[in-house]
């Protein structure tokens, strides 16, 4: 599932392959930008902002969001793609590499000077160079909603997805429905930062420290299985800021209070 660490690694791979090179192929397969053409421009940088990916080309920024299924893959020029062509939404090629965004949910092209229109609402970025833990804790601590909802709100802190939210609250021993105003926001944000940074450079996440298949998670997707700490069956419910934004929540009723 693409979360902040996944997008960070994708941006790093794309930057290493494309930055400093001239665009030789540019194709956005979305109606609004279908005629856009940045061939001849230089790729200056590819970076992540929370779960958003920003590719700065010439005076423009190509913005994408992976959502649930999206992915950026790299190929050599002329190499056959490993995913169906009809799933491609964005193609940026140079003489050295071709980057293809498959099933990416959002594709926007704006002048780089207008980038904040797309990502300016985001809170402190857990993996960003300007990470501000104090500001992130302040935002979480002032949110009266269930803490699971509060830490998934990218306006509070950017980069956490549902897997991280579930694992983070278990590690901190916090019931997902507890109001964020009642938790130790400073400790919660500190653990979130250490957790995502520990996974940032791994190909496979682990929250338990065990990378073996089936052993990486404490509670996520483990409903009715025994808690790894106390043996109590893990429970499952749904929480969200609205009915259309509900996420599946997993917790141990004994370890999380």
Catalytic residues, by residue number, are: 2-3, 51, 247
Which residues, in sequence order, are bridge partners of residue 89?
Answer: none
Compute the distance between CA of residue 189 and CA of residue 211 in angstroms, rounded to an integer.
24
Compute the distance between CA of residue 171 and CA of residue 198 in angstroms, rounded to an integer.
14
Residue pair 129/136 in contact (Cβ under 8 Å)? The answer is: no
Sign of the torsion angle spanned by Cα atoms 68, 193, 121, 145: positive
Compute the distance between CA of residue 203 and CA of residue 36 in angstroms, rounded to an integer.
34
Count CA atoms within 13 Å of residue 126 on its CB side: 35
Closest among 72, 247, 62, 48 to 159, alpha carbons compared: 48
Compute the distance between CA of residue 81 and CA of residue 76 in angstroms, rounded to an integer.
9
Reduced 3-state DSSP string for 7-43? HHHHHHHHHHHHCCCECCEEEECCHHHCCCCCCCCEE
The residues, any chain, with a CB within 8 Å of residue 155's CB and separated by 6 or more, are 121, 122, 123, 139
């Amino acid at each position: 599932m693409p979360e902040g660490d996944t997008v960070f690694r994708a941006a790093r791979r794309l930057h290493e392959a494309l930055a400093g090179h001239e665009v030789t192929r540019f194709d956005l397969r979305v109606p609004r930008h279908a005629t856009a053409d940045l061939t001849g421009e230089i790729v200056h940088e590819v970076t992540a902002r929370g779960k958003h990916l920003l590719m700065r080309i010439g005076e423009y920024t190509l913005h994408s969001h992976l959502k649930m299924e999206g992915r950026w893959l790299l190929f050599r020029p002329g190499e056959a793609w490993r995913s169906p062509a009809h799933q491609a939404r964005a193609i940026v090629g140079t003489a050295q590499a071709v980057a293809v965004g498959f099933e990416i949910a959002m594709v926007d092209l704006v002048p780089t000077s207008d980038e904040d229109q797309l990502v300016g609402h985001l809170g402190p970025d857990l993996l960003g160079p300007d990470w501000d833990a104090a500001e992130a804790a302040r935002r979480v601590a002032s949110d009266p909603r269930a803490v699971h909802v509060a830490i998934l709100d990218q306006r509070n802190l950017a980069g956490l997805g549902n897997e991280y939210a579930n694992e983070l609250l278990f590690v901190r021993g916090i019931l997902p429905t507890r109001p964020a105003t009642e938790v130790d926001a400073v400790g919660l944000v500190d653990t979130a930062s250490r957790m995502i940074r520990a996974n940032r450079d791994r190909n496979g996440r682990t929250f338990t420290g065990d990378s073996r298949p089936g052993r990486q998670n404490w509670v996520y997707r483990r409903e009715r299985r025994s808690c790894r700490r106390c043996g109590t069956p893990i429970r499952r419910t749904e929480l969200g800021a609205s009915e259309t934004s509900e996420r599946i929540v997993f917790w141990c009723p004994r370890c999380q209070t």
